[in-house]
A = this chain, B = another copy of it.
Amino acid sequence: MVSQIKNNSMFANRGMQLEKDLEQTNQYYIDNDIAIIYKKPTPITIKKVEYPNQKYTKIIDGYFSKKSTTDYNGIYNGKYIDFEAKETKNSSLMLSAIHQHQINHLKKVKDHGGIAFVIITFSQKNETYLIEIEPLIKLDKKSLTVDDMKNKGYLIPLTFQPRLDYLKIIKKIYF
């Protein structure tokens, strides 16, 4: 089976809408000089390449390697920002969707004085929440519900520009 795809972002995160919203938001932050936050490229291990011509290297065998950290990082107001983004069609997000090494990474970022959190979209409700890493760990639950987010996290209102202004929440908490 062969598929034609535009880019590899669809593999990085099945939640395409959240990814698009965050891309638009981060671009807005960059364009307006508010913050510099990028999605990290998906790590790929390449097994074989071809050189059809001097200027072009074609990858003909490769696979998606395990992510060592999180999806997004950057700088806001002098502070290091690091987060993972997840989307679910269900009424709750299985915590296993966030890998243990990603949780550990976010905890370490927090310990080093950075700002670390997870953004979760519940696509049925069309609601997106931000939860910092420490309350998320303290919840100690196998799945995260909308109520958990309401109690321990923050709703990110969906707006036109930027789409998901998560830094507005970070600003309130930290600055």
- A residues at B contact (CB < 8 Å): 1-5, 7-8, 11, 33, 35-36, 38, 40-51, 56-64, 68-69, 73-82, 105, 108-109, 111-114
Contact yes or no, A75 B36, CB < 8 A:
no
Q: CB distance B5 to A49 under 8 Å?
A: yes
Task: Write out the residue numbers on chain B whose beta carbons fall within 8 Å of the beta carbon of A77.
Answer: 112-113
Q: A44-B44, A46-B8 are in contact. Are A63 and B69 (CB under 8 A)?
A: no
Q: Given contacts A51-B1, A80-B78, are A108 and B41 in contact (CB under 8 A)?
A: no
Query: Which residues of chain B are near A7, meaning CB under 8 Å?
Result: 45-46
Return the chain B residue nearest A7 by Cβ: B45
Q: How far is the CA of A33 from the CA of B109 in the complex (A)?
A: 10
Number of chain copies forming the complex: 2
Shortest C-beta distance, A80 to chain B (Å), equals: 4
A109: chain B residues at CB < 8 Å are 36, 75
A36's partner among B50, B78, B105 (CB-CB below 8 A) is: B105
List of 3 A-B pairs having minimum Cβ-Cβ separation, nearest first: A78-B113, A59-B62, A75-B80
- B50 engages A59 (CB within 8 Å): no
Bound together, the chains give a CA A46 to CA B109 distance in angstroms of 31
| B-chain residues with CB within 8 Å of residue A105 when the two chains form the complex | 36
* Given known A-B contacts A5-B49, A45-B8, A50-B1, A61 and B64 have beta carbons under 8 A apart: no
- Residues on B with beta carbons closer than 8 Å to the beta carbon of A75: 80, 82, 109, 112-114
Given contacts A41-B44, A75-B82, 6 further A-B contacts (CB under 8 A): A7-B45, A36-B114, A38-B69, A41-B42, A42-B44, A44-B62
